[in-house]
Amino acid sequence: MKKLSAFLSVASGVFAVIPGITVMISNVGVPPNSSKTLFAATIEALGVLTLMLMWLNKEWIKQKSLQTITRISVYSIGIFLLSLFAYIFLYGYLVVDVENSNSLFFPLWAEGELKTYLEKFGSRPELIRQWGRDDVYKVIQSSSTVPLLFTTILLLIIYQLIFVSLTFSFGILGIKGDTE
């Protein structure tokens, strides 16, 4: 059980550190024209905070029954799966690929000029075809600032939950396994 506990503790640390570094290097999963530094730093900070909180509460974790810790871990994996699927869905819905150019990141809802032209052209891809990628980008930035910020914050929260929930699940099992 000690070897499994050590493995789970290492896995927890990996999920706390590696994703942020990967985001910084590859920009994976970060919406276009969003700060990869913000996404990476948030993942790193919350991952380390999760590990620290578990370490500070390790005696409480060790006192709980294996059934309770297993239930908490399963809930955490459920949060991971929900977060992963939500992020994939939202990313696919909000990011529109543009042929021979950078993708465009749309807000959850449109306001002002963007809303008017989306209603006129009927879809995001059609608006891009009619106006061109750069003009649509300018309209998104100028007329839907608040929705775009809200959308970025929502994606950031869901994105970090993917990694924090895994860090927590492996970490709590690693701590509990150390007592068994």
For 4, the token pair is: 């499994």
Which residue reads 């994996």 in tokens? Answer: 77
What are the C-alpha distances in Å from 168 to residues 72, 114, 122? 9, 40, 43
For the chain, what is the total number of helices (H) and then of strands (E)? 8, 2
Tell me the Cα Rg of the chain.
20
The whole-model pTM stands at: 0.84
* Euclidean distance between CA atoms 130 and 113, whole angstroms: 15
User: Burial level of 105, CB count in 10 A (0-12/13-18/19+)?
Assistant: buried
Q: Is the pLDDT of residue 12 over 70?
A: no
Longest dimension (CA), the chain: 64
What are the C-alpha distances in Å from 164 to residues 25, 49, 115, 125, 168? 19, 9, 35, 34, 6
For 141, the token pair is: 């930035």
Mean pLDDT of the chain: 87
> Model confidence at 1, in pLDDT bands (50, 70, 90)?
low
Q: Domain map of the chain by residue range?
A: 2-109+144-177
pLDDT digits (tens, 9 = 90+) for 55-103: 999 999 999 999 999 999 999 999 999 999 999 999 999 999 988 888 9
Which of 10-19, 24-33, 149-158 shows the lowest mean pLDDT across its residues? 10-19
